[in-house]
Amino acid sequence: MRKRIFISFIALILVFGTLSSLLVASIISTVIPGQVMNRLWAETALVMSRMETSGAEAAFENLISTSRVTHIAPDGTVLFDSTGIEDLDNHTGRKEVQAALNTGEGSAVRYSRTLRANLIYVATLLPDGSVLRLATSESASREMTGSMLPWQIFGTVAILILCLPLAAWLTSLLVKPILEIDLDSPDDSLVYEELMPLVRRIDEQARQNRQQLETLSDRRQELDALLGGMQEGFIAMDEDQRILLINGSACRMLGVDHSWALGKTVPEINRRREMLLLLSELKEKGCAQGMMARGGRSYILSTSTVPHGRGAVLLISDQTEKVEGEEMRKRFTANVSHELRTPLTTIFGYAEMLDKGMVMQEDIPAISGVILKESRRMLSLVEDILRLSRLDEGFPGGAHARVSLADTTSIACESLRPAARELGVTVNYEGEEAFVRGDRTLLGELCSNLIDNAIKYNQPGGSVRVRVEVKDRQAVLTVADTGIGIEPEHQPHIFERFYRTDKSRSKATGGTGLGLSIVKHAAEYHGARISLDSAPGRGTTISVAFPEPDNEGA
């Protein structure tokens, strides 16, 4: 604005300077011919005076005038011409001559065919009826005007230079009140009265803008809180699949940085085949769904275009637990079917032989024993499955009482000693009072399963050492055996259902393959942490650490 005002001032000065010069030139071009004509009249009077005193011939011989002097007879014949040109044509038809013959004086500005130039003429009627005419070139006036032109240009430039500081000062003076307007409180600013409507409008618009910004900020915070709290990944993209909005869950799932992802296209941040197929289907149908695996996790992708708008949204849901649970359920169903089929097949086979009378009398007790053993095994398997089912449901109805871990473990050891003696395994227990908050029955199953496992997978003549102690404010149950040990590749899987490191030995010992799985779920129910230390031929040690034991009143 300052620049435009300054330029306007300079342009105004130039216009006025130019107009002034043109006005002066116009005045000069008008005034100078009149002055020249007055000079010619004066010279005419001087020549006439000399003609009266010394006669025409003498007067014309001693002319001192620089003008053209012509003496014309009453009939138009040229009697004398100071140019020295002879045989001039009759001058009766000349405008100034006719005027002099008719009125006594005449003047004209016209082109002279004789001299081939524009001349200023004055003519006077003499007493003898002849006409005295004086003329001078019109170029004299133009020369005078031209001689003044440099001075006019110089004056205009000088005025312009002198007016530059004035124009700058006036510009600053005009702009200063506008620049000093306080946009936060325009009404308090000292501005031109003509600008007050604009200032009030600016103030009103500023208040509206502040309210809109506050509303947008609140909405943005609500949106950020909503998207930030979502477990699902959320991506909003335009019609070119360029990311407009992405939440933290989506960044974590796709392994990208939030600031880097914004503005990129979805294929730029993830070029997996599943994602590209999903986006291709989105373009064709307007919606699409798919699955994607990344980093050991399974994700469901769901995308659709925005109704009545441009772009689309993409939802990413982590379904790893669901997929793993489904796979586990399938494996569990298959394993349960297999585990139940084996004893049922044995029972069915022997029962059919007994029914058909295909068994000798002396073999009936042995077959009955097998049927009884397989029935017990099947019953044990069903009971373990029911226990796991209850644990999967969160063990509803489970107690959270103060339980002595030492007493529970001691009872489990005593109940399993007969079975240990049959296998030639010694069970040793030592411990101190340690209390935990939990379910007594479930804790008993945890202890029994750990000790039973240590007995069954031990060596003949081996031992099982069971200890309860308090370490770092934790009640710790440790069961160590001198058995066959577990290979490193099997250790991460031993707490899975129906997982056996040695299937033939497991069947021989009558195990269901669910004991350690029950231990794992029981530990999770009590918030305990399980640790395993084992090596082939060196035995196995399993420790369960319960948090913050309650030892008051021990």
Per residue in 405-421, pLDDT (tens digit) is 889 899 989 988 888 88
| pTM assigned to the model | 0.42
Choice among 262-266, 347-351, 540-544 with the minimum mean pLDDT: 347-351
Average pLDDT, the chain: 79
d(CA 110, CA 437): 134
Specify the pLDDT at position 97.
Answer: 85
pLDDT of 108 higher than 90: no
- Mean pLDDT over 148-154 rounds to 71
Residue 478 corresponds to which amino acid?
Answer: T
Q: What is the pLDDT of residues 507-536, one digit of tens each?
A: 445 555 667 877 887 888 788 899 988 888
pLDDT of 396 higher than 60: no
Residue 16 corresponds to which amino acid?
Answer: F
d(CA 30, CA 144): 12
Specify the pLDDT at position 181.
Answer: 65
Residue 439 corresponds to which amino acid?
Answer: D
pLDDT of 465 higher than 90: yes
Choice among 159-173, 198-212, 430-444 with the minimum mean pLDDT: 159-173
User: What does DSSP assign to residue 63?
Assistant: -
* 3-class secondary-structure state, position 125: strand
pLDDT of 498 higher than 80: no
Specify the pLDDT at position 179.
Answer: 66
Confidence label for 146 from pLDDT (cuts 50, 70 and 90): low
Specify the pLDDT at position 188.
Answer: 59
Q: What is the pLDDT of residues 301-346, one digit of tens each?
A: 999 988 776 789 999 988 877 776 677 666 666 666 666 677 778 7
Given strand 131-137, what is the order of strands in its sheet? Answer: 78-81, 68-72, 131-137, 117-125, 105-112
d(CA 550, CA 198): 77
Specify the pLDDT at position 184.
Answer: 65
Specify the pLDDT at position 552.
Answer: 45
Q: What is the pLDDT of residues 203-224, one digit of tens each?
A: 788 788 888 888 888 888 887 7
Assess contact for 94 and 81: CB atoms under 8 A: no
pLDDT of 506 higher than 70: no
What is the signed CA dihedral for 178, 183, 187, 191, rounded to 10 degrees?
Answer: 0
Assess contact for 466 and 451: CB atoms under 8 A: yes
Quick one: which of 128, 147, 113 has its CA closest to 32? Answer: 147
Choice among 24-33, 344-353, 385-394, 427-436 with the minimum mean pLDDT: 385-394
Radius of gyration of the chain (CA): 62
Quick one: which of 101, 104, 77, 59 has its CA closest to 69? Answer: 59
Domains and CATH numbers, the chain: 2-146 (3.30.450.20), 229-318 (3.30.450.20), 325-388 (1.10.287.130), 395-547 (3.30.565.10)
DSSP symbols for 375-409: HHHHHHHHHHHHHHHHHHTT-TT---EEEEHHHHH
Segments in 55-135 forming alpha helices (H): 56-61, 95-103
d(CA 216, CA 208): 12
Confidence label for 554 from pLDDT (cuts 50, 70 and 90): very low
Q: Say which residue, 153 or 261, is predicted with more confidence.
A: 261
- Give the pairing of strands 78-81 and 68-72: antiparallel
Specify the pLDDT at position 399.
Answer: 61
Specify the pLDDT at position 541.
Answer: 92
